[in-house]
Chain A
Amino acid sequence: MILQQLVNGLTLGAVYTLIALSFSLVMGILGILNLAIAELFMIGGYIGFTVIIAQLPLPLAILAGMCGAALIAIIIEKVGYQPLRNTPVITPMLSTLGFSIILQNVATNVWGSDPLQLPDQFLGHRFEFGPISIGAMQLLVLGSTVFLVALLAFVVQRTSIGRALRAIAENRDVARLLGVPADRLMLIAFILSGLLAGAAGVLVGLHYAAITPYVGVETGLKAIAVMVIGGTTRIWGALVAGPLIGIAEVMTVAYGGSQIRDFVVYGLMILILLLRPQGILGGARTDQGPRV
């Protein structure tokens, strides 16, 4: 059973990693915690589900989920972040919290509060490896997570957009003097985080073959813990911290009980904050740039 629980933990960790990446992108580069990302993930999942239920191809569902979430991310940036960027750091955060509640209400009104379930075929084929059983959708989630982390790391480290984003994170005024269009880049950061959250929503929805309007809150909070533990300044941190939290959570449930699950997960986060505030893979404190 331990091996099977490890697989369960890895898959759950991959889910957290995907959402943590979205948080990480905005937090690490722009220095703000966009709390609406958890709901972007949920809305992306619903949009993907709607496309799948309409019997359109799976890649189109993923694309629709990503674009839908990115579109909402643009609205959040234009309405909830840009006008407030010179206010105290708590203000845009509260603004994104407001968006988060609105999005949950929108989902409840559009899709209802009951779980939206996909047809049985989406539960997928399972592969048996001795005592371990792993579903096709679990493999898809695991594979996509590694791919998306690598892609994001490439974009941030190797492309001109990534270099510009890092320059803004380092010092917005200097970046502007050097000709970096800060406003446009901030919007791009929000779009990228929306695209990631949307993809995560569709993949996670496919994995469980069900989605509810409340999935964002629980999963989002765990993803924030993953981001903190992994380190907000390193993309790869989420890839390490996600499975760590996933396995810790699953093992706690299996051998300790659900009642102490959150104690373990958030206890771990507090411990990391106390002992290594920059996270497992986070760089030195001087790495962290000012808020844009």
Chain B
Amino acid sequence: MSNVTRRNFGSAFTAALFVGTSVFALHAAQAQELKGREVVLGAIVPSSGHFAEWGRTNTVTLKMLEKQVNDAGGINGAKLKLVIYDDAARPAQATNSLRKLAGDDKVLAVAGPLTSSACEVVFPVANQLGIVSTSQASSKPGVAKANRPWAFRNTIDEGILAKTTVPYYKKAYDIKTVAVIYDAKDATAATVGTRIMPAIVKENGIQVLNENDLLSFNTGDLDVSAQVTKLKSLNPDGVVVSADYSQAVTVIREMKRQGLIKPIVGATQLISSAILKAAPEIPIVAPATFYATQKAEAAQKFVAQLQPLLRKESNLPPEIEPSMYDANIYEIVGMYIEAAKKAGITAKPEDLEKDRVKIRDYMAKLQGFQGLGGPISFNEDGDAIKAFYIVEGKNGAWETKVRGCSSASGGGCGS
């Protein structure tokens, strides 16, 4: 090595050491700076109403995460505080909750709301107030896209998922014809049932037997005998059921009662352990980004930690398992915590607006956040780029059949 090279190396080493020390010092100073403060984050979950189960498990998940973070020393020394409100899956109540979280509780960012109907009302308000709101479940196409830059969703557009779900369904069950039934009062279910599924099914060369007469029911209906009798009379190879799982259970039970044992295809809304009990002999094909029996190590660890806590809750079924939306909200708050740690927030009341902008910018540029099923980032529409799985529910268990990635290129979701 020449003297010049040695000198250059020495300078470079000194510079690197200086930069490294400065960064370390900066981080240490920042950690020191946040000590004694509180990082306050908000969440909007439906702990009452039709989706109470999801809201209640979301609450347990968030409390577990809050404890984990604070037990591990907090966020750069600051204590994490989560403020959780129940919106009963009602858009107006969700909007009030967001205003309260932003105005009264002074939170940095909000996880939720859960439903697309609530997001359609809450996201414009989040934009107006300048606070990040990230939904854990909304998957109706374009809901975050219409409300940039503050709206995000840790979910994948159902249109993208259906493009992988339907070809697998067709191949696995030799489907040539389907009939469609959907919940007309659920925003996502109605969009999937009337627009997404019929279009993608036809793209795949499958005939929709009731294309001009799609069957529907309303959220809360217990009697769907008329609809199922009509489905049966069409004699399809398979049935598209577009509904939240608790409503889909009613349809599947009626299908079984009337002897219509045909494979079902649907959207992420079908994923639950409860639906597997409705008629174990009827196969269900649907996409998921997480399910409780998933094999990934991070997912298994999450389930092992959360499941006992859920089962201790008196207002949840004793056999309950963590849902996809628990995983999603866990990841969302995890992203906010990472942003709070790395984006240089001060957590001072006078810097609240600046801190919110830092969180927003960090989320928009997020790369490789380690979620439970692999790395997560966001596309320009504010929707998650993450791995998904086409799963088949049969004889009481979900099983992964296809792994996909929601990015346009198909990459960026890890292996």
Contacts and interface: CB of A to CB of B under 8 A. Distances in A.
Nearest to B313: A112
Interface string B217-248: 11011110111011001000000000000100
B246 A114 contact: yes
A144 interface: no
A23 B225 CA distance: 25
Contact of A15 (B52, B223, B272): B223
B225 A258 contact: no
Interface stretch (B33-41, B249-257, B288-296): B249-257
Interface string A261-278: 110000000000000000
A177 interface: no
B223 A12 contact: yes
Interface in A88-119: 105, 108-110, 112-115, 117
Nearest to B316: A112
A218 B223 CA distance: 10
B312 to A, nearest CB: 14
A235 to B, nearest CB: 24
A258 to B, nearest CB: 4
A105 to B, nearest CB: 7
Contact of A123 (B257, B272, B274): B257
A149 interface: no
B387 interface: no
Nearest to B48: A108
A258 B314 CA distance: 37
B94 interface: no
A8 B226 contact: yes
Contacts of A1: 229-230, 233
B315 interface: yes
Given A8-B226, A113-B52, A210 B218 contact: no
Given A109-B315, A112-B52, A133-B259, A212 B184 contact: no
A233 B280 CA distance: 47
Contact of B253 (A108, A209, A214): A209
Interface in B40-73: 48-53
Interface in B180-233: 184, 213, 215-218, 220-223, 225-227, 229-230, 233
Contacts of A212: 220, 222, 246
B14 interface: no
Contacts of B253: 117, 123, 208-210
Interface residues of B, number: 40
Contact of A11 (B225, B233, B256, B277): B225
B256 A123 contact: yes
B227 A112 contact: no
A214 B220 contact: yes
B411 interface: no
A5 interface: yes
B278 interface: yes
Given A8-B225, A254-B230, A218 B249 contact: no
B234 to A, nearest CB: 10
Given A4-B229, A114-B317, A215 B222 contact: yes
A225 B52 CA distance: 29
A113 B51 contact: yes
Contacts of B277: 117
B317 A253 contact: no
Contacts of A211: 222
B258 interface: yes
Contacts of A251: 226
Nearest to B279: A120
Given A112-B317, A114-B53, A257-B216, A210 B250 contact: yes
A258 B249 contact: no
Contact of A105 (B48, B274, B279): B48
Nearest to B278: A117
A5 B226 contact: yes
A112 B220 CA distance: 15
Given A8-B225, A258-B216, A113 B246 contact: yes
Nearest to B277: A117
A257 B259 contact: no
A135 interface: yes
A1 B229 CA distance: 7
B216 A259 contact: yes
B50 A208 contact: no
B222 A208 contact: yes
A61 interface: no
Contacts of A4: 229
B90 to A, nearest CB: 14
Given A4-B229, A105-B48, A117 B249 contact: yes
A117 B253 CA distance: 9
A218 B257 contact: no
Interface string A189-201: 0000000000000
B226 A112 contact: no
Contact of A114 (B48, B220, B229, B274): B274
A69 interface: no
Contacts of B272: 114
Given A12-B223, A112-B52, A112-B53, 12 more contacts: A5-B229, A8-B229, A112-B315, A114-B246, A117-B278, A135-B257, A208-B223, A210-B253, A212-B222, A251-B226, A258-B217, A258-B218
20 contacts: A11-B225, A15-B223, A114-B53, A114-B274, A115-B250, A117-B249, A117-B278, A120-B279, A123-B257, A124-B257, A133-B259, A208-B222, A209-B253, A210-B253, A214-B220, A215-B222, A250-B226, A254-B227, A259-B184, A259-B216
Interface of A: 1, 4-5, 8-9, 11-12, 15, 105, 108-110, 112-115, 117, 120, 123-124, 126, 133, 135, 204, 208-212, 214-215, 217-219, 249-251, 253-254, 257-259, 261-262
The 7 A-B pairs at the shortest CB distance, nearest first, are namely A113-B52, A8-B225, A253-B226, A250-B226, A258-B216, A1-B233, A109-B315
